[in-house]
Each structure stands twice: as structure tokens, then as C-alpha cells.
């Protein structure tokens, strides 16, 4: 008989379909069309279509022997389709453009709503028959009972029957609380929590319309009314709850991996009230367990390598870095899911439906981002340690000048840049900003990382003989280190170092070690600079380098370089011109007079003048 047991879970199926096909953004039209397509496919699969012939063939009635999961899903999607259509019509009736047809739309919505209640009631009767014949589990019957009670309660609230609606919703709330308490997995618990958060405002609204004094106390109202009326509304309610608890104890023995550990933030639990978040956070939990397991062999290997001489190679660090890929991928997926939930809540225009006094989805998203940034920072710091360990020189009796790969320090600086970026993003998170001690701890790590970055960046400038820039960076590192000391002196207990896990431990010994390194580097840079060119700012005095300002200015004005050199005191001496004797001028000067024109000969005419012109004579 257990072989023919059906696995039908109405709440899980409805939640998955609503989330995937439009109801996350309150798009009832899209969801209605999806339900219509799904019912058509189910009818074709179950061979419940009329066929091509004109002859009508009556379908055999459903019984406990021939009923399948598809038949139950068909009834559920018929109910969902009618309910989505009613909500779509109600939304259209509230629009100003449909003011003239508002009454007609509300009347049609009421008919569709009533049809949805009819389909859900028919589904409940089939499930009760299956449960009586042991073809359906107690959890499956409880879920379809809750679904029917919620749908019927919403219909009564829509018809302004607030007292009956309050009773129906209160009994549904009591059954949902039972699902939360006895859930075998964290996903089932989050699924029940989703529907609990949905009907909470409706219970409060009905209680307010009935004039109850403590209408805001949803838990007390649900407990009071469900205790009185659950036996009348749900047939065999106590026996059903008892059977469900027994099944939960049996099913909960082998699902330890599917239980999500309690997430804590500043001593308070972080509520995960969405099944999608539970799935991705379970993957995060599994990845964290793998990291914890990979640390133990690495520690043992490091302890065994302490007595060895020579280069160890840093294999443990490389394995540890590779172990972070899975957890970073899982946290990225969790951040994406949380961001979509936040955007859906903002786009739908609805406020948080979580219980009073609990943290909403915005807080959960910020918590996931904080965990993602902390793990990313931890991975980058491990990469820095692996790089520096792999290039550490071997110990020898004779002190030799250290030859470091030119790519080492730029790579370390790049990794520290990503750490600084992650700390800056972490500092801007709302959950960090609300905690003064945590904000100060993050600020201390930020300035400490900047000091380390300046120290390694100074080595990059030393490699290209730019000692002035390197000394300037050493001075900046000293200032950042002083800021870190003053920030750490504010609080008595470091919230990051005392957290579990401590992704960036920082102690006073770390500050002292970095300060000694910075002081030694500054002295070494000064000695190398003095040995290179005597401490001159210009690295090569033989070549004249025109300042950049003059290169730009010459594009627009004509620059007098000789005048500038003269003002700078670098002008060359003018060449000596030999002195020549100048003859003395006579007091008598000749006066220039115009020449007297010569008289022209009279023109000759006739043959003689013609012949003279040929022979060149005048």
C-alpha cells in the first residue's frame, strides 16, 4: 500500500509556481495564463480531452484506485487559475479608466473567486479519501487543508464576512505553526513561514474591522480562535496533527544535512523566511564545512614542515585558496536571490509581511552581502600570504641581497586593492553602520590594509629607482598605521576578531610587526638612495628633462627659454665682439643733387631714320 502512496504537496507546488510565473511582482495576468497552459497540458497527459470525434465519451469517475498525482495537480491549477483571474479582475476594477465598469468587474471577480473555492473544496475531498485509505501522508492532507482554509477565508473577507474569515484564517495559522514546529527540513519550515507571513496582515485586518482591542496581536487571536473552532472546521484535526508529528519524527532522522544551522548576528538569530534562500544557504553551509575540513590537514602539514629546511612550496595555502571557490559561488547565488527578493518587494510596492519584531528581507540581504565580502577578503589575504610564502628566501649562513621577482609586489598590491575595495563596501552596509563597534573595527582594517599597500607599493618604486616616491609612500603608511592604533583603542573587544570565523584578525602585535617593517624599509630606502646618487631628486643629472608644464604651454605660446635660463641663473655668458676702429667723418659733407637731364636730339624723319633703326644707330 505504501508503494501506491501519492506525494502531493499543495503549498510547495503553489509557492513554486507563483514565484516563478509572475506573482512575485503581482502580475496576475501572467500567472493566470500560465495556469491555463498548465491545465491544458495536464488534461492532455491524463487523456481527459474530448477527442476529435463528435461522440461524447464520459470519463470514468475518480476513485482512490485510479487517481494519480496529475489529477490532484489539475484540480489545484484549476483553483489557482480561477483565483488569479479573480484577483486580476479586482485590480482592473480599481483602475480609474474602468470606473464605469467597476461593478461588472467586481461581479465577475466574485464568480471566479467562488469557482476557485469550489475547485479547492473538491480537491480537499479527494485528498481526505486518499488519506483515509492510507494513499496520502498526513503532511499532504494538512497542506491541502491549509490551502483550502486560506482560500475560503480570503473569499469571506472579500465578501465582508469578517468573523467567519477570521475563524478560517486563524485555524489555517494554527496548522501552519504546527508545520513550522515539526518540519523535517529547513525548506519545509521556510515554506510554512511564507504562508504564515501572507495571512498575518489579513488576520489583523479582520480583527480590526471587528473592533477587537488587541487587533495587532495576531498570535494571540489565532491561538484563541483556533482552539475553539478547529475541531468544527477541520475533521479529525487533533488526530491529524498527532499523525503528522509521528511522521515528522520518523522522517527527520535521516535529513540532518538538510537542516540549516541558525544564523546569528550580534547575538540575535537571522530569520530565513524564504525557501529559495534556504536552498542556497544550505549550499553555503556545506561549503563552509568543506573549508573547515580542509584546514585540519593543512595545519597538520604546516606543523610537520616546521622542522624542515628549505622551501616548503606553500601547497597547503594553495589548497586553502581553492577551497574558497565553492563558498564564494554559493554566497554569490545567495546574494542574487536576496537581491531579487528585495527588488520584488520594492517593485510590488508592498511593505514587509514578516512578523512584528523580526528582521525583514533587506536585513537578510545585507547579512549575505557582509558574509560574501568577508569570505572574499579572507580568500584575498590567504592569496597574499601564499604569494609571500612562495617567494620567501632560503635561510643561509652568509647574508645575501634578496632578489625578488619583479612581479611579486605588483601582484600583492593588486590583491590588497581588492581587499580595500571589499572593506569599503562593507563599511557602507546598513548592518555595519548600525553597529558603532563593528564600523570602527572595519575602519581599522581598512587603514591597516592601506598601510600594508603603501609599504608594498614603495618596493615597486624602489625597483625602478624612484626613491623619493617610495619614501613618500612610507610616510603615508606610517600615518595610516597611527590611525589604526587610534581606532583600535576605542573599543575593548574587537567584534571581528572575536567573531566565528574571524576573517581578518588584527592584534597589537600585528601593528608592531608592520611598524618595524616600515621603519626598516624607510632606512633601507634612504641608504640605497644615498648610494645611488647622493640623495638627489633628479635621478640622472646628465640629461635635461623639460617639465611637463612647458610641454603643454609650447602648444599655445612661444616660450623664451633664454629669458627663463637667465632668471634661473643658468644663462650662458654672451660672446665677446671684437672692437673695430671707425674712421672719423669729415666735417664737409657732399650734398646729393639730382642729375641734369641731357638734351635730346630732334627726331629725324624719312629714309635715313629708318635705316639707322635697322643698323642700331641713333
Residue 398 has pLDDT above 90, yes or no: no
* 251 and 266, same domain (yes or no): no
Q: What total number of domains does the chain contain?
A: 3
CATH code of the domain containing 107: 1.10.3450.40
**Taking the CA atoms of the chain, what radius of gyration do you get in angstroms?**
44
Q: Is 361 part of a structural domain of the chain?
A: yes
Averaged pLDDT, 215-230: 91
What percentage of the chain exceeds 70 in pLDDT?
A: 78
- pLDDT, one tens digit per residue, over 294-315 is 766 555 555 455 444 444 444 4
Instruction: Using the 3D structure, point to which of 477, 504, 537 is the last residue of a domain.
Output: 537
Name which of 330, 263, 249 is nearest 291 in CA terms. Answer: 330
Q: Is 607 part of a structural domain of the chain?
A: no
What is the C-alpha to C-alpha distance for residues 144 and 124, in angstroms, rounded to an integer?
A: 6
Averaged pLDDT, 492-497: 84
Name which of 310, 313, 314 is nearest 396 in CA terms. Answer: 310
CB-count exposure of residue 291 (10 Å: 0-12, 13-18, 19+) = middle
* 237 and 340, same domain (yes or no): no
> Could you tell me the residue range of the domain that residue 343 belongs to?
260-303+314-390
Averaged pLDDT, 535-563: 62
- pLDDT, one tens digit per residue, over 598-618 is 655 555 555 556 555 555 554
- pLDDT, one tens digit per residue, over 310-334 is 444 444 556 667 778 889 999 999 9
Q: How many CB atoms lie within 10 A of CB 486?
A: 11
* Cα separation of the two ends of the chain: 152
Name which of 162, 154, 158 is nearest 208 in CA terms. Answer: 162
Cell of 375: 569570505
Averaged pLDDT, 150-169: 95
Q: Is 422 part of a structural domain of the chain?
A: yes
Residue 291 binned pLDDT confidence (cut-offs 50, 70, 90) = confident
* 237 and 335, same domain (yes or no): no
Residue 290 binned pLDDT confidence (cut-offs 50, 70, 90) = confident
- pLDDT, one tens digit per residue, over 443-488 is 999 999 999 999 999 999 998 888 889 999 999 999 999 999 999 9
What is the residue-wise DSSP string for 252-318?
Answer: TTS-GGGSPPPPEETTEE-----HHHHHHHHHHHHHHHHHHHHHHHHHHHHHHTTT--S----HHHH
Cell of 581: 676702429
What is the C-alpha to C-alpha distance for residues 121 and 127, in angstroms, rounded to an integer?
A: 10
Instruction: Using the 3D structure, point to which of 371, 390, 409 is the last residue of a domain.
Output: 390
Residue 548 has pLDDT above 60, yes or no: no
User: What pLDDT score was predicted for residue 302?
Assistant: 53
User: What pLDDT score was predicted for residue 533?
Assistant: 75
Name which of 536, 547, 451, 440 is nearest 495 in CA terms. Answer: 440
Q: Is 558 part of a structural domain of the chain?
A: no
What is the C-alpha to C-alpha distance for residues 135 and 123, in angstroms, rounded to an integer?
A: 14
* 276 and 162, same domain (yes or no): no
Q: Is 568 part of a structural domain of the chain?
A: no
What is the C-alpha to C-alpha distance for residues 137 and 127, in angstroms, rounded to an integer?
A: 9
> What average pLDDT is seen over the chain?
83
User: What pLDDT score was predicted for residue 395?
Assistant: 47
Instruction: Using the 3D structure, point to which of 221, 238, 255 is the last residue of a domain.
Output: 255
User: What pLDDT score was predicted for residue 59?
Assistant: 78
Q: Is 158 part of a structural domain of the chain?
A: yes
Name which of 221, 211, 113 is nearest 166 in CA terms. Answer: 221
Task: Tell me the helix, strand and coil percentages in the chain, rounded to 5.
Answer: 65, 0, 35
Residue entry with cell 628566501: 393
Residue 136 has pLDDT above 80, yes or no: yes
Q: Is 507 part of a structural domain of the chain?
A: yes
What is the C-alpha to C-alpha distance for residues 613 and 454, in angstroms, rounded to an integer?
A: 102
What percentage of the chain exceeds 90 in pLDDT?
A: 50
* 287 and 355, same domain (yes or no): yes
Cβ atoms of 191 and 259 within 8 Å: the answer is no
* 226 and 271, same domain (yes or no): no
Q: Left, alpha or beta for 494 (phi > 0: left; psi -120 to 50: alpha)?
A: beta
* 248 and 281, same domain (yes or no): no
Q: Is 553 part of a structural domain of the chain?
A: no
Cell of 528: 640605497
What is the residue-wise DSSP string for 96-127?
Answer: GGGSTTHHHHHHHHHHHHHHHHHHHHHHHHHH
Cell of 315: 601547497
3-state secondary structure of 136: strand
* 97 and 35, same domain (yes or no): yes
Averaged pLDDT, 144-166: 95
Residue 5 has pLDDT above 50, yes or no: yes
Residue 144 binned pLDDT confidence (cut-offs 50, 70, 90) = very high
* 227 and 373, same domain (yes or no): no
* 105 and 248, same domain (yes or no): yes
Cell of 30: 501572467
pTM: 0.77
* 446 and 359, same domain (yes or no): no
- Distances in Å between the Cα of 379 and the Cα atoms of 195, 300, 382, 383, 501 are 39, 20, 5, 6, 13
User: What pLDDT score was predicted for residue 560?
Assistant: 77
* 128 and 243, same domain (yes or no): yes
Averaged pLDDT, 6-26: 92
**Poorest-pLDDT segment among 232-246, 264-278, 392-406, 563-577:** 392-406
What does the angle CA 18 – CA 19 – CA 20 come to, to the nearest 5 degrees?
95
- CA atoms in the 13 A half-sphere facing the CB of 558: 0
Give the chain's largest Cα–Cα span: 161
Amino acid at each position: 500500500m505504501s508503494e501506491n502512496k501519492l506525494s502531493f504537496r499543495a503549498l510547495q507546488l503553489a509557492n513554486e509556481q507563483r514565484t516563478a510565473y509572475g506573482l512575485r511582482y503581482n502580475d496576475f495576468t501572467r500567472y493566470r495564463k500560465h495556469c491555463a497552459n498548465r491545465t491544458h497540458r495536464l488534461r492532455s497527459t491524463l487523456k481527459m480531452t474530448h477527442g476529435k470525434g463528435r461522440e461524447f465519451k464520459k470519463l470514468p469517475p475518480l476513485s482512490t484506485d485510479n487517481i494519480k498525482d496529475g489529477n490532484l495537480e489539475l484540480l489545484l491549477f484549476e483553483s489557482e487559475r480561477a483565483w488569479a483571474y479573480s484577483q486580476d479582475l479586482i485590480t482592473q476594477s480599481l483602475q480609474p479608466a474602468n470606473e464605469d465598469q467597476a461593478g461588472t468587474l467586481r461581479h465577475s471577480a466574485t464568480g471566479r473567486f467562488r469557482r476557485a473555492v469550489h475547485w479547492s473544496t473538491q480537491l480537499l475531498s479527494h485528498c481526505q479519501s486518499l488519506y483515509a485509505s492510507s494513499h496520502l501522508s498526513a503532511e499532504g492532507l494538512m497542506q491541502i487543508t491549509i490551502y483550502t482554509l486560506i482560500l475560503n477565508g480570503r473569499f469571506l473577507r472579500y465578501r465582508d464576512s469578517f468573523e467567519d474569515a477570521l475563524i478560517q484564517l486563524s485555524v489555517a495559522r494554527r496548522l501552519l505553526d504546527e508545520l513550522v514546529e515539526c518540519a523535517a527540513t529547513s525548506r519545509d519550515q521556510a515554506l510554512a513561514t511564507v504562508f504564515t507571513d501572507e495571512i498575518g496582515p489579513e488576520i489583523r485586518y479582520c480583527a480590526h474591522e471587528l473592533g477587537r482591542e488587541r487587533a495587532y496581536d495576531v498570535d494571540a487571536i489565532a491561538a484563541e480562535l483556533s482552539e475553539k473552532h478547529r475541531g468544527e472546521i477541520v475533521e479529525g484535526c487533533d488526530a491529524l496533527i498527532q499523525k503528522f508529528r509521528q511522521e515528522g519524527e520518523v522522517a527527520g532522522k535521516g535529513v540532518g544535512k538538510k537542516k540549516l544551522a541558525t544564523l546569528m548576528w550580534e547575538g540575535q538569530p537571522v530569520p530565513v523566511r524564504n525557501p529559495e534562500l534556504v536552498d542556497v544557504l544550505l549550499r553555503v553551509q556545506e561549503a563552509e564545512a568543506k573549508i573547515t575540513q580542509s584546514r585540519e590537514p593543512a595545519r597538520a602539514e604546516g606543523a610537520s614542515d616546521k622542522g624542515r629546511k628549505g622551501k616548503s612550496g606553500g601547497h597547503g595555502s594553495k589548497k586553502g585558496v581553492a577551497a574558497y571557490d565553492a563558498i564564494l559561488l554559493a554566497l554569490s547565488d545567495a546574494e542574487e536571490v536576496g537581491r531579487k527578493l528585495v527588488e520584488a518587494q520594492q517593485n510590488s510596492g508592498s511593505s514587509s509581511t514578516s512578523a512584528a519584531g523580526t528582521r525583514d528581507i533587506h536585513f537578510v540581504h545585507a547579512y549575505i552581502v557582509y558574509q560574501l565580502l568577508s569570505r572574499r577578503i579572507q580568500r584575498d589575504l590567504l592569496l597574499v600570504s601564499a604569494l609571500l610564502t612562495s617567494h620567501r628566501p632560503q635561510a643561509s649562513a652568509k647574508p645575501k641581497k634578496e632578489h625578488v621577482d619583479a612581479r611579486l609586489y605588483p601582484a600583492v598590491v593588486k590583491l590588497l586593492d581588492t581587499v580595500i575595495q571589499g572593506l569599503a563596501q562593507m563599511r557602507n552596509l546598513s548592518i555595519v553602520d548600525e553597529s558603532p563597534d563593528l564600523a570602527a573595527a572595519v575602519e581599522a582594517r581598512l587603514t591597516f590594509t592601506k598601510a600594508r599597500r603603501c609599504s608594498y607599493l614603495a618596493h615597486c618604486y624602489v625597483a625602478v629607482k624612484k626613491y623619493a616616491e617610495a619614501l613618500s609612500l612610507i610616510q603615508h603608511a606610517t600615518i595610516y598605521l597611527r590611525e589604526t592604533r587610534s581606532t583600535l583603542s576605542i573599543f575593548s573587544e574587537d567584534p571581528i576578531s572575536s567573531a566565528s570565523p574571524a576573517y581578518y584578525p588584527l592584534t597589537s602585535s600585528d601593528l608592531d610587526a608592520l611598524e618595524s617593517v616600515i621603519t626598516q624599509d624607510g632606512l633601507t630606502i634612504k641608504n640605497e638612495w644615498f648610494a645611488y646618487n647622493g640623495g638627489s631628486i633628479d635621478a640622472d643629472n646628465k640629461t635635461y628633462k623639460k617639465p611637463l608644464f612647458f610641454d603643454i604651454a609650447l602648444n599655445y605660446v612661444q616660450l623664451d627659454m633664454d629669458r627663463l635660463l637667465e632668471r634661473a641663473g643658468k644663462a650662458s655668458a654672451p660672446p665677446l665682439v671684437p672692437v673695430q676702429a671707425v674712421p672719423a667723418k669729415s666735417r664737409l659733407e657732399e650734398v646729393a643733387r639730382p642729375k641734369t637731364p641731357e638734351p635730346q636730339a630732334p627726331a629725324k624723319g624719312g629714309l635715313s631714320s629708318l635705316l639707322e633703326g635697322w643698323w642700331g644707330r641713333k
